[in-house]
Amino acid sequence: MTGDDMYRYLIKRILLIVPTLFGAATLVFFLMRLIPGDICVIRLGSGGTSFTEQALSECHAALGLDRPLWLQFIHFIWGFCRLDLGTSMWSGRPVAYEIATRFPVSLEIAVFATVIAVIIAIPLGTISALKQNSWTDLAVRTFAIAGIATPSFWIGIVSLLAVLNLTQYFFGQPWMPPINYVSVWQHPLRSMSIVILPAVTVGYRYSAVVMRMTRSAMLEVLREDYIRTARAKGLVNRIIVNRHGLKNAMLPVVTVIGIEFAFLIGGLVVTETVFNLNGIGRLLVQAIGNQDYTLTQGIVMLIVTIFVLTNLVVDVLYAWLDPRIRFA
Amino acid sequence: MTMISQDAAAPLVADEAGGLHRRSLPARFLDFIRHQPLGTVGIVMVGIVLVAGIGADWIAPYDPTANDFAAMMQSPSWAHLLGTDQFGRDILSRIIYGARTALIVGLSTAMIGGAGGLLLGVASAYFGGRLDLLVQRALDVLMAFPLIIMALAVVAAFGTGVRNVIIALTIPLIPRCARVVRSSALAIREVPYVDAARACGFSHSRIILRHMVPNVVAPFLIVVTAAVGQAILAEAALSYLGLGVQEPVPDWGLMLQGGAEEYAVTAPWIAIFPGLAIMLAVFGVNIFGDALRDALDPKLRER
Amino acid sequence: MDLQDPPGRQFHNGDPLTAADVAASLNEIAFPPKGVLSPRSDNFMMVKDITAPDPGTVVIHLKFATTAFLPALADPFNWIYEKKILDTDPHWYEQHIMGSGPFKFAGYQIGQSIKGVRNPDYYHKGLPYLDGFVGIFAPKQAVQLDAIRADRAATEFRGYPPSAIDQLKEQLDGQIKVQTSDWNCTLGAWINHKKKPFDDVRVRRALTLAIDRWGSAPGLSKIAVMHTVGSIVFPGSPLAPSKAQLETLAGFWPGINKSRAEARRLLKEAGAEGLSFELLNRNVDQPYKYLGTWLVDQWSKIGLHVTQRVVPTGPWFAALRSGDFTVGTGGSCHGIVNPPIDVQTWLPRSVSSANFGYYDDPKEIDLYDKMLHETDPTKQRADMWNFVKWVLDDQAHFIETMWWYRIVPLRSYVNGWKIGPSHYLNQDLSTIWLSPPHCGKCTAEPAPAL
């Protein structure tokens, strides 16, 4: 593996992002315009009041919706290139500001969910692989498949109910997490008490995915010759697992964690709805509902960019570690 | 075709090499149960969902949409085995009919998306060159959207309802399926008999359909089976958000919003049973899929 | 019209509030300058001019005398801003909040919460009692109820159905109290006359005949805020029809079987048996989603196949406004009970922009005008009945169902709030006070405000 190869691969891989982001931008731009309805009608009339045609056209002009479609599109793409997402058509505030006020909630849930997932998944997955086909293995696998099969919002509903009922039963007063988010920097404890239930809710599914990957990666590694050699040399199992096995099995596991994390940032819509959290997912649903083109485009492009960049990092990491990929 | 194991998956995949020695059906069945205890459980669970979905009209004790204000939010009893919801509708009947909705969405999504992905993947691998490049970039774009985001956008554009939910879930499935199929097909494309077929002057479609498609069936089936479970889950999530199937259509995800949450304290059965139904159905599909993968993919066997 | 305003009021920024500010704000609403959107300018179509001859007097000249003026002026959405600011930037209000009320704006986290702190210079001396408040955004009924249960919220001012309230009472034995009121809101379904076969009055009558209002109300009113079977006139009003009169309207007949048999007969006669259509509905728990599910079931009883298209508020309005629907939920909700004005909603499309039936009906306008100009209460009641019967029975323009009912839960430490028939009104919170231990130094009821 020469540095040149790696360099070339890196350039190629980064260049590939451009058409992907452009395609995604085009797709979201035109999908939004397919949605029947009009943000100005919604803005002017959602109180049930009447308004004139003139008011409608003034609103269109103010939002730039009276311009030809191709001009709006170029404006959007050019803005995106300059990292300027524009102004929300609904609130009139910068899209970047709207996103920035919601992003911390989603990010915090995703981070905690990751921590929970890793804590559960890595030990269980490893044990499961070591005791392959035992009852322990079967139990862990069942637990994992159930995690993938259970709708996270249902766990959310049931756990919220359980917390309310149990606290009422044991302490006399029902308790639920605060629904008014504060950032972890302001009130660490309060903030954590808000996100812990949602994080567990999505963390279960997340841990299930990681657990399965850990198990199969461990199995793969345990079959490799050097582990057999180590075993033959009489090294104790624990040393083998810690020093040789886990370390080599980590790459695909880290990959899955990374991709799932990127997925979570955008995929929290349902969980945020259950717990009434003001995150990026719910903002997206609201933005689509209000037909706020600029805000929807901004959020979608943010999520897509995170997704694409995570994939880039993962791919490059792989290529760096496994030269064969570069020539595929 | 050496990919196919002898005992487990023989009935599932056509074997061209014919090197399979046939044993009696009960023997093979017992073999499968012994090797795949979880898989067997999966098959049974999938079977239950299938029977419920197909036979809902005969099995369900009540009309799933009929309001009965005399029987609102009743706890489980002999008259209503799983209780009733806030409209007095029988929850068991709604779950049984809900299996039909889940099956329709899950299977159509997997079939349409799978077929699309299969053709795209194989064609892309077979023709290669510029077409491949173009298809790959298009797939990149679709893959860059997390599933739920794509589904949200599609439902917003085309509206709610069973048909549109299927469209919304099919679109993200196509690229995922095409990717898997393409990478298997790429390997097969270089195999001598495909070259031979080309040399014989067979048409492209004949080569693709007769020689390449059968050879990517194993990974394809694995992806498609997994897609069924994913589609059922995603459909439930969309319907829960109010963006999927609409009232009064009996649907598991829909059953979990509204009354299920509002009356979770006094009538928890409204929330618990539909959730269990989703979990068990997807659980069944997934372990069935796992068993199928183990059976079809020799690299992963013995695990 | 001459409005005297006592001096001594001031804005939250400390500037005095004078008649000039009131006149400037109302002018911007009634006669918006170019580039300013005023959805409520129509409310003031009777106004000729608004002036402020001295700091304590606002003079409003009307083009013609009408009872519609005072309710328009009392509309809670007529914000007053400083003239100085409006003169320099007429768009200032779009991004800023200012007033003279009991609480000062103290922060807004979009989609999450809004905060207010006590205004010490409020013109009612001694008010408000609270040091401040936090309003939490929680669109789902389930989350709202959980929050009240866990005391994350002290109250919710819109209202809940009885079964939700019962559930709260059961969990919070003695820690919760409720206030109830009829609600000046009603909900039903618009029939788009432009879509076939709904241009046929027989089909429209069949749709309304299928619905068992009397039989469903006791059950439905437990789970939805829908409650009182009535016409398009607020049931508590002296102008509302009696029960005996109601029972002569299509769909309000005492026997539902007879009603549904008639519905089937009409459908058959119109060649619309087993009709399928889509009901446009709004993605709001109370009472829209409950209404939708119930209506679809009712219509299935006469062999109709109805599916729902449930969309968020914005697209729901957009679809109603563009006529892109066949049957859609809708109704009317007003701040002040004023039936002669409230029923304008059901005037033909050419007159009422809130009408989504898309019909033309000169006779209906005549009936309405007769009622509006009648000053004798008894005669006006009779005229109103003729109008109602024409709209709901003869023409079956609209499918009226039930009027709403408010049950507002308050944690028992919340005092001083009084319910009314509208959730738009009485929300300034100035008279609310808390019992110990939820207030700092207080031990008993606060001194009455001056």
pLDDT digits (tens, 9 = 90+) for A126-145: 888 888 888 888 899 888 88
Q: Say what the ipTM of the complex is.
A: 0.84
Average pLDDT in the A168-181 region? 84
* C183-404: CATH architecture: Roll (3.10)
Q: Chains A and C: how many Cβ contacts under 8 Å?
A: 118
Mean pLDDT of chain A: 82
Same domain, A214 and A265: yes
Do the bridges between strand C327-333 and strand C276-282 make them parallel or antiparallel, or are there none, so unpaired?
parallel
pLDDT of residue A228: 66
Mean pLDDT of chain B: 81
CATH number at residue A228: 1.10.3720.10
Q: In whole angstroms, what is the distance from residue C275 CA to residue C260 CA?
A: 15
Distance from CA of C112 to the nearest CA of A (A): 6
A270 inside domain: yes
A326 inside domain: no
Q: Is the Cβ of C139 closer than 8 Å to some Cβ of chain B?
A: no
Task: List chain A residues with CB under 8 Å of B286.
Answer: 145, 148-149
Same domain, A148 and A69: no
Tell me the pLDDT tens digit for each residue of C280-323.
Answer: 999 888 899 999 999 999 999 999 999 998 888 777 888 888 88
Residues written for chain B: 303
Task: List chain A residues with CB under 8 Å of B272.
Answer: 158
Q: In whole angstroms, what is the distance from residue C99 CA to residue C88 CA?
A: 18
- Chains with ≥3 CB–CB distances under 8 Å to A: B, C
C212 backbone φψ class: left, alpha, beta (φ>0; ψ -120 to 50): beta
Q: Is the dihedral of CA C178, C180, C184, C188 positive or negative?
A: positive
User: Residue A311: closest CA among chain B residues belongs to which residue?
Assistant: B144
- Chains with ≥3 CB–CB distances under 8 Å to C: A, B
A91 inside domain: no
pLDDT of residue C180: 93
A221 inside domain: yes
Same domain, A216 and A148: yes
Q: Edge-to-edge, what's the strand order for the sheet holding C57-62?
A: C2-4, C57-62, C47-54
Question: Is the CB of residue C301 less than 8 Å from the CB of residue C272?
Answer: no
For residue C78, the tally of other CB atoms under 10 A from its CB is 16
| Homologous superfamily in CATH for domain B91-301 | MetI-like (1.10.3720.10)
CB contact under 8 A, B258 and C171: no
pLDDT of residue B23: 63
pLDDT of residue C4: 58
pLDDT of residue B94: 94
Decide which of A84, A105, A140 is a domain's last residue: A84
| Homologous superfamily in CATH for domain C103-169+410-434 | Periplasmic binding protein-like II (3.40.190.10)
Task: List chain A residues with CB under 8 Å of C110.
Answer: 91, 93, 98, 101, 278
Same domain, A107 and A55: no
A327 inside domain: no
Domain that holds residue A48: 39-84
CB contact under 8 A, A270 and B152: no
Question: Is the CB of residue C358 less than 8 Å from the CB of residue C217?
Answer: no
pLDDT of residue C316: 85
CB contact under 8 A, C318 and A41: yes
Same domain, A80 and A25: no
Q: Both tokens of residue A217?
A: 């990666």
Distance from CA of A65 to the nearest CA of C (A): 15
Count up the domains in chain A and report the number. 2
Average pLDDT in the A8-29 region? 87
Judge whether residue A39 has pLDDT over 90.
no
CB contact under 8 A, C38 and A168: no
CB contact under 8 A, B248 and C164: no
* C2-94: CATH architecture: Alpha-Beta Complex (3.90)
The residue extents of the domains of chain B are 91-301
Chain C interface residues (partner A, CB cutoff 8 A) = 35, 37-43, 77, 94-95, 109-113, 134, 136-140, 143, 146-147, 149-152, 171, 283, 311-315, 317-319, 321-322, 324, 333, 353-354
User: Residue A293: closest CA among chain B residues belongs to which residue?
Assistant: B153
Give the CA count within 13 Å in the CB-facing half-sphere of C127.
15
A177 inside domain: yes
Query: Which helix (DSSP H) or strand (DSSP E) does residue B115 occupy?
Result: helix B91-127
Q: In whole angstroms, what is the distance from residue A179 CA to residue C135 CA?
A: 11
Same domain, A49 and A32: no
Question: What residues of chain C score a pLDDT lower than 50?
Answer: 449-450
Judge whether residue A1 has pLDDT over 60.
no
The residue extents of the domains of chain C are 2-94, 103-169+410-434, 183-404
CB contact under 8 A, B253 and A20: no
